[in-house]
Amino acid sequence: MEFESSQSIFSQIAESLSEKILKQQYEVGEKIPSVRELAAEVGVNPVTIMRTFNELQSKGIIENKRGIGYFVTEKAIDLIRNEKKAVFFEKVLPDFIHQSELLGISKEELKSHLNL
């Protein structure tokens, strides 16, 4: 797995897992890969994965079953979708509008880029 330097590795992994859960590549109640597995798979230190899991757990997206592993919670999809929506409407969309106005991009140009 490749990482952007602008963001911490552990939160990029968290983002990646969140998207997979949202796309139901990991289903509700399903066990996600173990710390060591994921660490080996993406080529980072296990504690980096732990930080990822801690973050997701504190958000309520995954939960731990002692000695077994981490599982996708029932409310995971709602949580992820809600957070993403908030970010989208409060940050991504306004920023998009702001930038396109600042650059004077015409509505026709926007439409073509967005296939609208």
Partner DNA sequence: GTGGTCTAGACCACC
Partner DNA sequence: GTGGTCTAGACCACA
Q: Applying CB under 7 A, which residues contact DNA? A: 3, 8-11, 34-37, 43-48, 50-51, 53-54, 64, 66-70
Nearest CB to DNA, comparing residues 47 and 110: 47
What's the closest the beta carbon of residue 32 comes to a second copy, in angstroms?
17
Q: Which helix (H) or strand (E) holds 82?
A: helix 76-87
Give strand pairing partners of 27: none
Reported as half-sphere exposure (CB side, CA atoms, 13 A), residue 59 has a value of: 22
Nearest CB to a second copy, comparing residues 38 and 80: 80
Question: What is the Cα–Cα distance from 82 to 60, expressed in whole angstroms?
Answer: 13
Evaluate whether 58 touches 47 at the Cβ level (below 8 Å).
Answer: no
Residues that bind a second copy (CB under 8 A): 3, 5, 8-9, 19, 22-23, 58, 63-64, 66-67, 81, 84-85, 87-88, 92-93, 95-97, 99-100, 102-103, 105, 107, 110-111, 113-116
